[in-house]
Chains A and B, each alone.
Chain A
Amino acid sequence: MLWGVVQFPGSCDERDALHACELSGEARLIWHEERGLGEVDAVVIPGGFSYGDYLRAGAIARFSPAMEAVAEFAAAGGPVLGICNGFQVLCEAGLLPGALLVNESTRFICRQVDLVVEASGSGKRPKSFNAPSERLSIPAKHGEGRYWAPEEMLEAIEANGQVAYRYAPGQNPNGSARDIAGVRNEAGNVLGLMPHPEHAVDAMTGSTDGLEVFEAVAAAGARA
């Protein structure tokens, strides 16, 4: 299992992502100017502030050579995990539905949240990315994490089983529509979420629940 972790100028969580990936295989950094991903089995777009988050979070990163390669990799069925800024990049790139807006409070939030793992419905990979636990305790830290999509798009992603994670009742930290914390694409091989599973892989930091997210993506990579 070889993971690729894409690094943009302004990424800041790529080291933790690398560490988390190395717990279930080998991992290498992919600089944003690289035009190919090499022989990776799965890709992580990590958190941070790619290109300074100028214009909109993730808006400029989507045009990088590495993201073009990621789009091709995703189109061929390769598993892609976007975390926080990575989720924003995937939404801006059109690889995931919806958008991430400024938190309802206008404040940057940083706290441990419980995520409810949604059972996925139909689709090519009905079980894709489902972590075995029903709930995961994972930190969230972001200023622009309010998931939003037009009502008809929300209905469609619910019907397709594309909601992967929701904030547990009463824990929605940012005003996300329908408490959505993470979504998958229709084919089930691209996953994005705002909370940070890569910061929850060692008991020293309070939770190892994030490992389940990486293991689920690794399993998708093994099947691909």
Chain B
Amino acid sequence: MAKARVLIRPKEGILDPQGKAVERALPALGFEGVEHVRVGRMVELEAEDPARLPELCEQLLANPLIEDFEIESIDGA
């Protein structure tokens, strides 16, 4: 089984209200100077056939209309 990590994030240009809410909360906690916060999703999985991961991401893990994804192999750790 090949271990992989899939990072999914909202596409550039799409308003991310969750990121904005986090960004607005930071100064109240004393973290000044942080901007462009974007909140995405991370999925870890083990696959028999990692060659099929892009197809799996396009069909289910991400919605390609609104999200970009990256597949990262975490084998050999």
Q: Contacts of A106 on B, CB cut-off 8 Å? A: 17-18, 20-21
How far apart are the CA atoms of A191 and B18 in the complex, in Å? 29
Q: Which of B1-35 contact A (CB under 8 A)?
A: 14-15, 17-18, 20-21
How far apart are the CA atoms of A150 and B15 in the complex, in Å? 12
Q: Contacts of A209 on B, CB cut-off 8 Å? A: none
Contact between A103 and B17 (Cβ–Cβ < 8 Å)? Answer: yes
Q: Contacts of B20 on A, CB cut-off 8 Å? A: 106
- Binary per-residue interface labels of chain A (53-94) against chain B in the complex, 1 for a CB within 8 Å, 0 otherwise: 001100110010000000000000000000000000000100
Q: Contacts of A92 on B, CB cut-off 8 Å? A: 63
Residue of B with least CB distance to A63:
B60
B65 within 8 A of A: yes
How far apart are the CA atoms of A104 and B15 in the complex, in Å? 8
Interface size on A, residues (CB 8 A): 18
How far apart are the CA atoms of A123 and B65 in the complex, in Å? 24
Which residues of A are in contact with B by a Cβ distance under 8 Å? Answer: 55-56, 59-60, 63, 92, 98-99, 101-106, 148-150, 175
Which residues of B are in contact with A by a Cβ distance under 8 Å? Answer: 14-15, 17-18, 20-21, 41, 60-61, 63, 65-66
Contacts A99-B66, A106-B21 given; 18 further ones with Cβ under 8 A?
Answer: A55-B41, A60-B60, A63-B60, A98-B65, A99-B63, A101-B14, A101-B66, A103-B17, A104-B15, A104-B17, A105-B17, A106-B17, A106-B20, A148-B14, A149-B65, A150-B65, A175-B15, A175-B17
Q: Can you show 14 pairs from A to B with CB atoms below 8 A apart? A: A55-B41, A55-B61, A60-B60, A99-B65, A99-B66, A101-B14, A102-B17, A102-B18, A104-B17, A105-B17, A106-B21, A148-B14, A148-B66, A175-B15
